[in-house]
Structure 1
């Protein structure tokens, strides 16, 4: 039930799979069940599809018609901001004022918690407010543009190093105190591990809930989407840190992302906070991650592009049932992949040579380009690749927000602040057709211009009352 095809054809269903052949499998890990609400039918659905695809008569010859429904859903920015909207207005779409208010409340609560726990008051602390918290975040954004080895250097007396704007906004001591007490959760209410309601992401749960909703609502996905992992660079040893040999940053905190292939906008994320698992868990794990990321897109006929960690026969079947198309390289020894296309069956392939099997829209391919690659596809659209997550990573990595610290959850906090900045800039750029906000005299409003202007608007005319610290 397989057929040899003499070479690659741009009109064939395998042209798309060839474009993603350079992606290698992610390490097999166990997805934490703390991040997602469980759906009882998810695993039973996977098991049924997994059993179906190993049937001897599942695969047939690649001569069936592939049906691709047109993508007609609305897409792009979704907001009611007027022509006078500026950078801060777009940032608020993703990072609303309510989140700043929550940060203020929990930071003040944590400062009192620390003082009660230590048994002594902190003479250098006074409660913060929303204006100061915005200024604090604004300074952290500027630190990603004007990078210095140590944050204390921004307040240095040396005129060639110290920053007058930082000194005018707040003292180095006050910035340090905000760093010490910054918090997003109520420590007194945090369930211990093993207790009812324990959440491994409790420390950033309010952030995940709020930003997760705003990212999803601010921009409707375009036709082509990518799912991939990214890593957050850390300094220090944290239990959630993962080794990812396929990534430029091989060690860091892992985040799975659903991104727009056209704009790089990140629609949804999932965090990994679990422990390494065995190889047998990887297929169902990929199924679980993908179905959670695309929840809400059913029957819209999006095209998903993934790497080999996620791509499996049961997953592509499930996505087809949900009205979604997908493509990506896969492990040829994964259950359900045709025996006839496994390395021992096809032997040595010449460059450009490939074999195929088909079941309806689902096409399995083994081909040789720079190396032998096994692929699965349920669409035939040419010219699409995995650039969405890569583009989002490039935009996010240009200017880091926040400083290295000893608390793992802080890296996730600044990751999401940074992601909100990238997404807000994309929404502004597409909403205004590339026209910069009023008052900007430059010809091009780049991400750097957006960040500087946003930081300035967050800081505004805030100046610390220095007498409060004496």
Structure 2
């Protein structure tokens, strides 16, 4: 990020034909502080980024002002880059990559996410979404999701903890893609690569589930379960709606071929399911619900009874374990990272940064068994506490940007008022003048400079001290 941001800033200046007097190259410490400020912006959310540097004491943030100026933050945001813009291939050229702008980030982050956490037995594959502001070509419409429009991401998450092992970005339909089923087949096989022969249980939704995919996973030593569309190729003809007829609540039919079991049942609606991790004929009971019949009357004359509806085991397993991506999204959506912008790839950049924060929090929480880290005073250690501590560690004692930007300003100004220094009343009690003390004299004053936090005489000590 440091190298390509500096390179892109020079590229923009060469392209425009004029230099930027407010830009100077960034370094690793400043970039860490910049990311730390973006993390804190997701906790303390304000409508506009400039408000964090507002002079109003009820709005402005003293920590932001101490770390870097608003102009420096704006310049870093303006020039932030992850790839070499000069060597980027255009669409239609050989070697074109739709994710070229973040490819370097993906190569590092995806390997780290995969190696940092050992997958549990049950894993979830589902579709996630990244909220955007603006119109971008990769933006997808998702009517069945809570977020109706956004950037689409497919995720492989742990069903128990919500840890994200892998994520695949969808930037549009390629010309060689033929059908939705083929796309889901490729997505699942790419997400589970590396798990062959380890006998994990994969839970996925109806977009991915198909007979060819389940058979492929079985050959690779992986079990799977998920609802499907009865019109999919390979689904048993006897379980299609036209052959099953109307089902009563709790009634189900199953059909087996090898280790693959197809199920059709009715709860609130008819559901078709494929599974390879449960035997047929095993029935579970869903949570009870209140129902009433004419012939069921208790001793008090009431007609209400509570009982469970029989469910086949594949659907009970699906309902219990199909929550990994939802857990990850809940943790991720609590605190956003980054500000809205006009470049679509930056939404994916901050998505991966936020995803890494969630994964790090899950690892810390599980490694400590729920106990808070040292320095938390025994209080409950939540994700908010983790993000604040992470941002503080990234920022550290960095204050270099403010001094460097001040040094770049014009130094021929006669008055320090240009920099915000003014002679104000400091306190009711007089204290020694700092300028006179430096000269070996003793004079006291109730006035001084609040920015420098020193007392100064009302005469020439103010201007002399600020020279």
TM, length-normalised to structure 2:
0.77
Are positions 1:455 and 2:353 aligned together? no
SS in structure 1 at match of 2:196: coil
- The alpha carbon displacement at 1:354 in A equals 1.2
**Match for 1:390 among 305, 326, 334?**
326
**Match for 1:467 among 396, 401, 406?**
406
Measure the CA separation in 1 of the matches of 2:124 and 2:64: 39
**Match for 1:172 among 38, 52, 70?**
70
SS in structure 1 at match of 2:268: coil
**1:203-240 superposed Cα distances (whole Å, 9 cap, x missing partner):** 00001100000000000100000000100000000000
SS in structure 2 at match of 1:269: strand
Give the gaps of 5 or more residues in structure 1.
1-102
Structure 1 residue aligned with 2:215: 317
- The alpha carbon displacement at 1:437 in A equals 2.4
SS in structure 2 at match of 1:415: helix
Measure the CA separation in 1 of the matches of 2:235 and 2:40: 50
- The alpha carbon displacement at 1:274 in A equals 1.4
Alignment of 1:284-433 (within 5 A): 284-380=182-278, 383=317, 384-433=320-369
Measure the CA separation in 2 of the matches of 1:218 and 1:416: 15
- The alpha carbon displacement at 1:306 in A equals 0.3
**Match for 2:125 among 216, 227, 233?**
227
Measure the CA separation in 1 of the matches of 2:176 and 2:390: 45
Moved more, 127-136 or 351-360: 351-360
| Distance verdict in 2 for CA 1:419–1:357, change over 3 Å | same
Are positions 1:146 and 2:146 aligned together? no
- The alpha carbon displacement at 1:280 in A equals 5.8
**1:42-76 superposed Cα distances (whole Å, 9 cap, x missing partner):** xxxxxxxxxxxxxxxxxxxxxxxxxxxxxxxxxxx
Alignment of 1:172-251 (within 5 A): 172-251=70-149
**Match for 1:275 among 158, 173, 177?**
173
- The alpha carbon displacement at 1:247 in A equals 1.0
**1:3-50 superposed Cα distances (whole Å, 9 cap, x missing partner):** xxxxxxxxxxxxxxxxxxxxxxxxxxxxxxxxxxxxxxxxxxxxxxxx
Structure 1 residue aligned with 2:372: 436
- The alpha carbon displacement at 1:467 in A equals 2.1
**1:280-335 superposed Cα distances (whole Å, 9 cap, x missing partner):** 61111111000000000001010010000000000000000100000000011010
**1:417-452 superposed Cα distances (whole Å, 9 cap, x missing partner):** 000000001111111222222222242111100000
Number of aligned residue pairs: give it.
368
SS in structure 2 at match of 1:255: strand
Measure the CA separation in 1 of the matches of 2:24 and 2:72: 9
Measure the CA separation in 1 of the matches of 2:222 and 2:32: 40
SS in structure 1 at match of 2:272: strand
Measure the CA separation in 1 of the matches of 2:76 and 2:46: 19
SS in structure 1 at match of 2:357: helix
Measure the CA separation in 2 of the matches of 1:432 and 1:391: 20
SS in structure 2 at match of 1:443: coil
Structure 2 residue aligned with 1:18: none
SS in structure 2 at match of 1:221: coil
SS in structure 1 at match of 2:34: helix
Q: Contact 2:263–2:273 at 8 Å: present in 1 too? A: yes
**1:136-178 superposed Cα distances (whole Å, 9 cap, x missing partner):** 0000000000000011100011110000000110110000000
Give the gaps of 5 or more residues in structure 2.
279-312, 410-467
- The alpha carbon displacement at 1:355 in A equals 1.3
Question: Which has more strand, going by share of residues?
Answer: 2
**Match for 1:253 among 131, 151, 161?**
151
Measure the CA separation in 2 of the matches of 1:188 and 1:325: 46
TM, length-normalised to structure 1:
0.77
Measure the CA separation in 2 of the matches of 1:201 and 1:224: 30
Q: Contact 1:240–1:275 at 8 Å: present in 2 too? A: no
SS in structure 2 at match of 1:439: coil
SS in structure 1 at match of 2:179: helix
Moved over 6 A (4+): 276-279
SS in structure 2 at match of 1:366: strand
Return the index of the structure with the highest Cα Rg.
2
SS in structure 2 at match of 1:267: strand
